[in-house]
Structure 1
Amino acid sequence: MQINILESKNRLSQLVRLARQGEEVIIAHRGIPAVKLVPVNPASDTDQHDILTWLDNHPLPQALRRSGQEIDDALVQERQGWD
Structure 2
Amino acid sequence: MRTVNMHEAKTHLSRLVRAAVDGEPFVIARAGKPMVRVVSIDMPEPGEARRTGFMAGEISVPADFDRMGSREIEAMFEGDG
Q: Normalising by structure 1, what TM-score?
A: 0.48
Higher helix share: 1
Larger Rg: 2
